[in-house]
Amino acid sequence: MDKSWHNGEWCRSMRIRLDYTNMMSSRIDMHHGVTDDDITYLEEMGRKAHKDLWERHESGDLGFMSLHNQADELQDIKGAAARLQKRFDNYVVIGIGGSALGNIALNSALNPPYYNELSKDERKEGLKVYFPDNVDPELLRGLLNVIDLTKTVFNVITKSGSTAETLANFLIIREELKKAVGDEYHRHIIVTTDPHKGFLRKLATKEDFRSFSVPENVGGRFSVLSPVGLLSAAVTNVDVDELLAGAAEMHERCSGPDIRSNPALMAAALQYLLYQKMKNIVVMMPYAQALKDIADWFRQLWAESLGKKSDRSGKIVYEGSTPVNALGATDQHSQIQLYIEGPFDKSVIFLTVEKFRENVNIPAAGFQDEDALGYLEGSSLEKLIQTEQYATEWALTKNNRPNCKIIIPEVNAYTIGQLLYMLELQTAYAGELFNVNAFDQPGVEDGKKATYALMGRDGYGSLKQELLTGMDTSSKYIID
Amino acid sequence: MDKSWHNGEWCRSMRIRLDYTNMMSSRIDMHHGVTDDDITYLEEMGRKAHKDLWERHESGDLGFMSLHNQADELQDIKGAAARLQKRFDNYVVIGIGGSALGNIALNSALNPPYYNELSKDERKEGLKVYFPDNVDPELLRGLLNVIDLTKTVFNVITKSGSTAETLANFLIIREELKKAVGDEYHRHIIVTTDPHKGFLRKLATKEDFRSFSVPENVGGRFSVLSPVGLLSAAVTNVDVDELLAGAAEMHERCSGPDIRSNPALMAAALQYLLYQKMKNIVVMMPYAQALKDIADWFRQLWAESLGKKSDRSGKIVYEGSTPVNALGATDQHSQIQLYIEGPFDKSVIFLTVEKFRENVNIPAAGFQDEDALGYLEGSSLEKLIQTEQYATEWALTKNNRPNCKIIIPEVNAYTIGQLLYMLELQTAYAGELFNVNAFDQPGVEDGKKATYALMGRDGYGSLKQELLTGMDTSSKYIID
């Protein structure tokens, strides 16, 4: 790729920006908005949060903050992607949660809509990509009905190497591959897992699967810029160098402790302040179809990192705002009524795009005298969607609903790298401010154990007994 | 279709059920659960809600409650669908909000996954379907890149006939069609709109488009079982008779005022009670990939109907719980941590399926001694996803998080008809209980007017002035 245009000036013009004007009490009622005093008050906390986080980074604790420096791994990934493109037509990610959401977000953002329906030429030799991130028999059977296994490679992703859903799908796929291609099946499987531990790592050695590593200090939901997300991006020709260059740029921009110039820290501080003002819901609303799945990826990042029963001192806090994904302009016809008129329980983060990669003009068709559509004639879809975003922002503000926007000059690998990494840092800073561990997920253990017990895993016999007796099915609270 | 199996016994076995055991204080802490006394207390309110709603139904006010009786319209729809299947390959819905979400939900629920990638044979002559429900230039251009216009029919759906997004896309499509097929373009456009009023109705007559009507007394978000949703379902061979038969069955089941035997009324009452207990979030979490978009459809239904600033007496209430869509088992790896450990601000409605349309066995592959996956061998994906649902329900209950489930014997047109109509009725009942108008959406007006003003529509000049001066872009609250 020719990167002669890729000079300092271009990079500066591609910096994403945070505009939080409409969160401030100068714009909205002071009961619901943030005051300058609030922010001044947060400055000191922000400095401490920054110091603590970056100390952990420097001690090597937080691998996600170093992922923009992985030149060697990147060569491996690009080399593998090029070879896969020669050999296969389809690339299927077998993974769930943090092993799928980032891949899906990158694909939606950086590949054309209806990508899998394009011809191979139109995809520029990029592979078709599928993300069956569930254990639904109809979904997996449906996938097997549309792909040719002899032309398909499966990337099995689980950091621990023991995720139940991923292993179940893996066992099925492995068997299907054996039927379809015999002894060659191992060439159709790539494993992305812990560098040393776990069942899948062991099996990769034994059965000779190509493998990539999730660095030990990178958690699933912070792994999109590791091989977890990069390989599926690379097989579709996403410029993974640019993704990491964007992340590196954001890393640099967030390296200072001043809340007023560090966008991730400010975004975290604003959410912290709004949570104190009883906003227990945070809506992420991109105005661009391509960014829809980034909001879904963010849901995991925010919910799993900050939804915690105990703070770091062990105090019971039951903390965590609920992230909601929405999409402009679509959800103006679904959610906006509630956001404008309902309880004052939420804030909105818009993602806006200044220049779309395509534009489509609305033709002048002779209806200019029709009140219902004359005003549209001769305009464009880009202008319409941007206008609707601005109109929604204005209406929310007028109704005292705090909102901010992350402005993206154009959707490309460089800006998406910035955005994803900024949201990761924002979440990590929020963990510091809320004083919770943003990197664990103890709350999912109960459900996991119950699944093991009911599936008959060894060592869970007494829990199984408890489960079976605890829940009768002859309840009087059933309407049938 | 042979319906010899379709007798009374089959219908009874296909009734969906509401199980709200885990919302009751016998299962969870009484601060967070509903008591028997609560329900007794609601009985009288429930009776009144029922009486008021059904009186409006009988007066002809609420068209959505009569949609299961539209035999004539149904013949038209099926006839049109059969002709369209002969002539076209692709069916594109140009609509937004209530003119798209129901169509998407029906398609996901009742057609196979990856439906558009199946061959025409595998689709049994069903048309490929697309729902570009946004005004994003990249999305529309992307669609035009993958479809052959000479083989495509567009269903333009807007009840008012004046929805900005729909008309913008329509103008573009109309022009593209003229370029591709000349004077025949009008045969590629089907209009679904008000029977008498609006620009599109007028144009349909003038330009000779085939048209269907949205009954005047049926609002957009309650229109899935009208021609709005039925035609796109019929062109993919969904059994629309069964959809309406399911709705009719649910209508019958909900015709009595007793909260304890009317599932829609009980579901509404439970949400009303939980809202008083500070649960301002309601999560709908299907455990079946096919039902994912029903949760998204429900988001609009619930949010737009109940998110209201004023009650019906004009009192300011800022009412409305926020609907959140989740998906099992997938979101166990995303949202469940927050639902289990976060604030006590939500309840969960599971949608569970007793028998999937496919099953996939997990093979015994010789790993039975491996702790990480031995327990999976010889089981099935159906068992795994159902077990995970039960485990999640148990974990939520153990942690005092109210949850209920709608049990669906099997996903088919008959059960989905029941489900959609039950959720519509539940929403309408909730409107009665909260004493808000569930059938308007005054809160979206501000944003619409601002869009008109900024797009230069006649008559909005002074608002435009206000908008342009009101929001400066040189704010000090921007980090760039």
Q: Which pLDDT tens digit goes with each residue over B386-411?
A: 999 999 999 999 999 999 999 999 99
Quickly state the pLDDT bin for B368 (edges 50, 70, 90).
Answer: confident
**pLDDT tens, residue by residue, A38-48:** 999 999 999 99
CA distances (Å), origin B382, targets A143, A177, B16, B105, B413: 16, 21, 19, 22, 20
Task: Say whether B304 is catalytic.
Answer: yes
Beta strand A210-213 with A281-286 is: unpaired
Confidence at residue A468, expressed as pLDDT on a 0 to 100 scale:
85
Q: Which carries the bigger pLDDT value, residue A235 or residue A9?
A: A235
- The distance of B273 to chain A (nearest Cα, Å) reads 15
Indicate yes or no: CB of A137 within 8 angstroms of CB of B356: yes
Quickly state the pLDDT bin for A157 (edges 50, 70, 90).
Answer: very high
Q: Taking 90 as the threshold, does the pLDDT of residue B97 lie above it? A: yes
Indicate yes or no: CB of A479 within 8 angstroms of CB of B261: yes
Which residue in B has a C-alpha nearest to residue A360's C-alpha? B137
Quickly state the pLDDT bin for A329 (edges 50, 70, 90).
Answer: very high
A84 and chain B in contact, CB less than 8 A: no
Q: Taking 90 as the threshold, does the pLDDT of residue A72 lie above it? A: no
Tell me: ipTM over 0.95: yes
Confidence at residue A8, expressed as pLDDT on a 0 to 100 scale:
81
From the list B117, B290, B362, which residue is nearest A172 (CB)? B362
Rounded to an integer, the average pLDDT of A159-175 is: 96
Indicate yes or no: CB of A332 within 8 angstroms of CB of B458: no
Residue B32 near residue B344 (C-beta atoms within 8 A): yes
Which of these is catalytic: A242, A304, A393, A424?
Answer: A304
Q: Taking 70 as the threshold, does the pLDDT of residue B85 lie above it? A: yes
Among residues B303, B450, B165, the alpha carbon closest in space to that of A343 is found at: B303
Which of these is catalytic: A86, A315, A333, A476?
Answer: A333
Q: Sketch out chain A's domains with CATH numbers.
A: 8-59+243-434 (3.40.50.10490), 65-238 (3.40.50.10490)
C-alpha to C-alpha distance for B252 and A295, rounded to whole angstroms? 40
Rounded to an integer, the average pLDDT of B24-44 is: 95
Which residue in A has a C-alpha nearest to residue B340's C-alpha? A443
Task: Say whether B448 is catalytic.
Answer: yes
> 3-state SS string over chain B?
CCCCCCCHHHHHHCCCEEECHHHECCCCCCCCCECHHHHHHHHHHHHHHHHHHHHHHHCCCCHHHHCCCCHHHHHHHHHHHHHHHHHCCEEEEECCHHHCHHHHHHHHHHCCCCHHHCCCCCCCCCCEEECCCCCCHHHHHHHHHHCCHHHEEEEEECCCCCCHHHHHHHHHHHHHHHHHHHHHHHHHEEEEECCCCCHHHHHHHHHCCEEEECCCCCCHHHCCCCHHHHHHHHCCCCCHHHHHHHHHHHHHHCCCCCCCCCHHHHHHHHHHHHHHCCCCEEEEEECCHHHHHHHHHHHHHHHHHHCEEECCCCCEEEECCEEEECCCCHHHHCCHHHHHHCCCCEEEEEEEEEECCCCCECCCCCCCCCCCCHHHCCCEHHHHHHHHHHHHHHHHHHCCCCEEEEEEEECCHHHHHHHHHHHHHHHHHHHHHHCCCCCCCHHHHHHHHHHHHHHCCCCCHHHHHHHHHHCCCCCCCEEC
Indicate yes or no: CB of A168 within 8 angstroms of CB of B330: no
Among residues A102, A114, A113, the alpha carbon closest in space to that of A222 is found at: A102
From the list A138, A145, A337, which residue is nearest B443 (CB)? A337
Chain A residues with CB under 8 Å of B341 CB are 307-309, 318, 320, 442-443
Q: Which two tokens stand for residue B307?
A: 């998110």
Quickly state the pLDDT bin for A412 (edges 50, 70, 90).
Answer: very high
Quickly state the pLDDT bin for A1 (edges 50, 70, 90).
Answer: very low
Return phi, psi of residue B136, to 5°.
-95, 120
Residue among B115, B123, B133, B338 with most chain A CBs within 10 A, to mutate: B338
Which of these is catalytic: B333, B358, B445, B476?
Answer: B333
Q: Taking 50 as the threshold, does the pLDDT of residue B126 lie above it? A: yes
Residue B356 near residue A137 (C-beta atoms within 8 A): yes
Q: Taking 60 as the threshold, does the pLDDT of residue A398 lie above it? A: yes
Average pLDDT of every residue of chain B: 95
Residue numbers of A between 361 and 380 with CB closer than 8 Å to B: 361-363, 365, 367, 370-377, 379-380
Write b or e for each residue in A278-301: b if 16 or more Cβ atoms lie within 10 A of its Cβ, otherwise e.
ebbbbbbbbbbbbbbbbbbbbbbb
C-alpha to C-alpha distance for A479 and A184, rounded to whole angstroms? 53
Beta strand A152-157 with A128-130 is: unpaired
Chain B residues with CB under 8 Å of A164 CB are 373, 376, 384, 388
Lowest average pLDDT, out of B5-9, B24-28, B140-144, B312-316, goes to B5-9
Quickly state the pLDDT bin for A71 (edges 50, 70, 90).
Answer: confident
Confidence at residue A56, expressed as pLDDT on a 0 to 100 scale:
97
Rounded to an integer, the average pLDDT of B233-255 is: 97
C-alpha to C-alpha distance for A143 and B384, rounded to whole angstroms? 18
Q: How many CB pairs (< 8 A) connect A and B?
A: 484
Q: Which two tokens stand for residue A24?
A: 């401030």
Rounded to an integer, the average pLDDT of B274-298 is: 98
Quickly state the pLDDT bin for B1 (edges 50, 70, 90).
Answer: very low
Q: B250 pairs with which residues across the strands?
A: none
> 3-state SS string over A74-116?
HHHHHHHHHHHHHHCCEEEEECCHHHCHHHHHHHHHHCCCCHH
**pLDDT tens, residue by residue, A368-378:** 889 889 999 99
Residue among A411, A451, A452 with most chain B CBs within 10 A, to mutate: A451
Task: Say whether B57 is catalytic.
Answer: no
Q: C-alpha B334: how far from its chain's center?
A: 22
Among residues B358, B376, B334, B356, the alpha carbon closest in space to that of B288 is found at: B356
- Preceding omega of A329 cis (within 30 degrees of 0): yes
C-alpha to C-alpha distance for B480 and B464, rounded to whole angstroms? 27
